[in-house]
Structure 1
Amino acid sequence: MNFIVQSVYLFIVFIILHLTTIEDAAKDPIYNIVSSNLCDPNVRQYSGYIKINQYTNVFFWFFESRNNPKTSPLTLWLTGGPGCSSMVGLFHEIGPCRPSDGGINIKERPESWNEVSNLLFIDQPVDSGFSFGDKLVSTTGHTSLDLYTFLQRFFEKFPEYSKMNFHIFGDSYAGHYIPSIAKLIDENNILIKSNYLKAIPIKLRSIGIGNGWIDPKTTLKSYPDYLEFNSYGPKLNSSELAMMRSELPECLQLVDNCYTTGTLTDCVLIEDHCIVDTSKYLSFFKNSGLNPFDIRTTADLPHEYTFYLAKPEIMAAIGAQKNYTDCSDDIFQRFYYQGDLVRSYKSAIEYLLNKEFPVLLYHGDADFICNWFSGRELANALIWPFQSEFKDAPTEQWIVHNKPAGEIKSFDKLKFVRIYGAGHEAPFYQPVNSLEMFSKWINNEAK
């Protein structure tokens, strides 16, 4: 018992100091929340701000489930970046509404994930989306602490939702965020149960990561093979692929150097040389002009909902107090110069699997930047009691409404899904199939 106390003492002290005290809350109210009938007028919804400390105001938008909200689970959605708003996930992917009329208006999304779950969208880190404050963060670890504080404040305000099964989903750089916050939730639940931490236990049941930036080394290694052997035909010529493969050993060595030394110099060096789109390793792809998030096209997805969110009457209705920022370059740069982009969260996923939390990894197969080749390799490489059984499990055809929707490989708590005909934000491209995947996950595997 003394060993446990010693090992967690400093962490508990940090969490306690991180949470706003009751005295501070009396001087500076924590909640600034409204309820509107936008986006989905047929469900209860809340939006606005929760202050996690005197410097930081985190924006959220919550929607109850369209069906049996009291018995439905609660799903937290996190968009990646780092620095992109979770309004991307709301309007582009899984939320109750989507843009119409060129972004001036919205219309119902019948395939919204709130068909089967209560949904919570959070703009984080601070300064993304509608969130604002002076205490800026630059690492995934710090982001998780802020998220945990936010969830505590949210459940204090809405205790009825704290009793629900809790799932965390998101995509892209959320491949960092999700394993980190999920691991922190479980660790703190243990401390709460042992009376070492006074906080609200969170009923974490599973995580789901779409086209996730989880283990950069695995992802970087996959690029030449994906560009040559993907389902949509080779995207570089043979000499370009050969040149790209010739750069790969140096990139992998630079990753190893970062992981060995842990210094900012070594970790930023790999970002410079191999990760950002201006790097020599990725210059061959960049010169192709193809969209890295959908190799079938050169065009970017239109973010038309930004026009809707810029309307003063809409901002007032949802309680927004600053102009909307879709993706923050400042946040990206802060994470970049802390070497956060190259950090691996493979071990955090292994932690969750070893604690018997279900893990869903799904990939739109037209995405290059976090492609399904790397997702499949990562799933096979995860170290947990059923690693061998998962590797030997057959890949099965996934059928939705009598049509091929993708491929599935699963064993016990781990499932890998390849989604046909989808880019980086898979639910945008395949809304019906994505809802089918999510519904079966939370109703069967992740109960």
Structure 2
Amino acid sequence: MKKTILLFVLLALVYCTQNPLFLNETYTTGLINIGKASDIFYWHFESRRNSTADPLVVWLTGGPGCSFELALFLENGPFTVNDNQTLDNNPYSWNTQANLVFVDQPVGTGFSKAANDELVRNEDEVAEDFYAFLLGFLQQNPQYIGKPLFLTGESYAGHFIPAIGAELVKQKNPKINLQGLVIGNGWVTPKLQNPAYGTYAYQNKLISGLQYYTFTKPVLATCEALISINAPLSLTNAVCGLGYQSIVGFNQTPKFNVYDIRKQCLGSLCYNMTNLDNFLARDDVKSALGVSGRTWQECSDTVYVALSHDEIVNLANKVAYVLDSGVKVLVYSGDQDFQCNYLGSLAWVNEMEWTKQEEFKNAKFEEYIINGKSAGQIKSAGILQFFRVYQAGHQVPMDQPEVALAMINKFISN
């Protein structure tokens, strides 16, 4: 049954402000009510170049249930957090040539809140909630009505972005001018991306050939088969998890950083988030953001569990639908990431059924040159591009900020 969404929007417009705490970056924040007792928090930054002329770029973090603040402060937002709880300017922020909006979604993520009966359970509900959020955002920020819109994000946003993009295309709302989707190291087609764990691990010497051929590859092939026949989720998860753990180990801490195989795993997300955790716990910070009394968390287990049946769903058909409607798509993937590695990403993009599938599969890779150096390889057909980013992990804007900024600016300006 389609979930009923009640949208309540503040009648007053939201005005941009500046605050020395946030290095006088021009920004707004807001809460858009979704349903009876839930809301979605956003943080919007005006373009550093020309807010009137530049497009609107929306960023979604994955998880599911992980907060956008992780990306904002560690990847492509205007700041980074120092040990002494001050901020430094990020010259490679994605609001260099775009109006940038970070969104804590689904409901219950980050500073957003959710009633238990309003947690999303599938991507249709994710898309419905986001459409309601976007209408509320545009009411609070009417300067962006009809402005070229690009949806971007990484990791489990590979599920969110296709679903939301397809919903926006379907709605045909003249206020929403969707121009492109950008999926970074995304989890899109589990049937194809699970087997890639073994291939990637073997090619990068994370496991031996003996282990790959005698155990990991057969187990992951069984995982693929179980997904294909829609086997019971408990069985599928057990088998797929066994193949994955045969590579990363069976301890709570993986043998290596699954988001960057060159590094060790430190902490629950394999990176030290102490500075960010402490900064977002400060009362003055929460007051400035308009979320006083709320508690921030990196990732919500509640949101994750609510979407547990969603993980093995294939979202490539939604990407194809968006492409065939005329909306361009960029898929990029850092080649040092294990979690959503580039081999799995390339597999789902190649196998996606759309009008130019064969042309894309047969397209040749070309070097992607930035400032006279090769930053990776790219291939394309029509309005679809796939970009393998050299020497970058799961968080490409963190590992290769100059490359990521050049990539997004080129995509949104074409």
- What is the TM-score with the length of structure 1 in the denominator? 0.85
Residue 334 of structure 1 aligns with which residue? 306
**2:218 equivalent among 221, 246, 269:** 246
Residue equivalent to 2:96? 115
Q: Distance in 2 between matches of 1:438 and 1:174?
A: 16
Once the two structures are TM-superposed, the CA of residue 227 in structure 1 deviates from its matched residue by 0.9
1:157 is displaced (CA, Å) by: 1.7
Partner of 2:387: 417
Written as runs of structure 1 = structure 2, the 5 A alignment for 1:384-399 is 384-399=354-369
Matches within 5 A, 1:173-212: 173-189=156-172, 192=173, 201-212=175-186
Kept after mapping to 1: 8 A contact 2:158/2:187: yes
Of residues 71, 76, 79 in structure 1, which corresponds to 2:58?
76
Deviation at 1:201? 2.9
Shift of 1:188: 0.5
Distance 1:32 1:71, change over 3 A: closer
Match of 1:320 in 2: 291
State whether residues 146 and 175 of structure 2, in contact with CA within 8 Å, keep that contact through their aligned partners in structure 1: no
Q: Which moved more, 1:341-350 or 1:317-326?
A: 317-326
| CA distance in 2 between partners of 1:351 and 1:405 (Å) | 30
Deviations, residues 19-40 of structure 1 (Å, cap 9, x unaligned): 337xxx6xxx578968442675
Q: Does 1:374 align with 2:344?
A: yes
Q: Which is worse superposed, 382-391 or 178-187?
A: 382-391
Query: Structure 1: how far apart are the matches of 2:30 and 2:257?
Result: 34
1:400 aligned onto 2:370: yes
- The answer (yes or no) to whether the contact 1:30–1:52 under 8 Å persists in 2 is no
How many Å separate the matches in 2 of 1:71 and 1:355? 25
Deviation digits for residues 249-285 of structure 1 (CA, Å, limit 9, x no counterpart): 3211210121xxxxxx7234322331xxxx2111211
* Corresponding residue number in structure 2 for 1:64: 46
Number of the residue aligned with 1:237? 208
Q: Report the AA paired with residue 110 of structure 1.
A: P
Q: Which structure 1 residue ranges, 4+ long, deviate > 3 Å from structure 2?
A: 29-36, 38-43
- Higher deviation after alignment, 202-211 or 318-327: 318-327
Among 319, 323, 328, the residue aligned to 1:358: 328
Partners of 1:30 and 1:51 in 2: CA distance: 13
Name the SS of the counterpart of 1:359 in structure 2: strand
**What is the TM-score when the length of structure 2 is the normalising length?**
0.92
- Amino acid across the alignment from 2:61: T
State which of 320, 324, 346 in structure 1 corresponds to 2:316: 346
SS in 2 for 1:132: coil
TM-aligned CA deviation for residue 239 of structure 1: 2.3
Decide which structure has greater helix share: 1
Which residue matches 1:225?
199
Q: Distance in 2 between matches of 1:341 and 1:320?
A: 30
For residues 269-280 of structure 1, the aligned pairs below 5 Å read 269-274=235-240, 279-280=241-242
> Deviations 1:102-141 (Å, cap 9, x if unpaired)?
6x12110000010011011111112211111312222222
Unaligned ranges ≥5, structure 1: 1-9, 193-199, 259-264
AA paired with 2:358? S
Query: In structure 2, do the counterparts of structure 1 residues 98 and 214 end up closer, same or farther at CA, with 3 Å as the change threshold?
Result: same
Identity percentage of aligned residues: 33
**Contact 1:74 1:117 (C-alpha < 8 Å) held by counterparts:** yes
- How far off its partner does 1:41 sit? 4.1
Deviations 1:183-206 (A, max 9, x none): 0011011xx5xxxxxxx6310000
Letter in 1 for 2:401: P
Gap regions ≥5 residues in structure 2: none
Q: Distance in 2 between matches of 1:165 and 1:401?
A: 27
Q: Which residue of 2 aligns with 1:18?
A: 5
Structure 1 residue 375: deviation in Å?
1.3
CA contact (8 A) 1:93 1:431 kept: yes
Instruction: Find out whether 1:136 has 2:119 as its counterpart.
Output: yes
Matches of 1:88 and 1:442, distance apart in 2 = 23
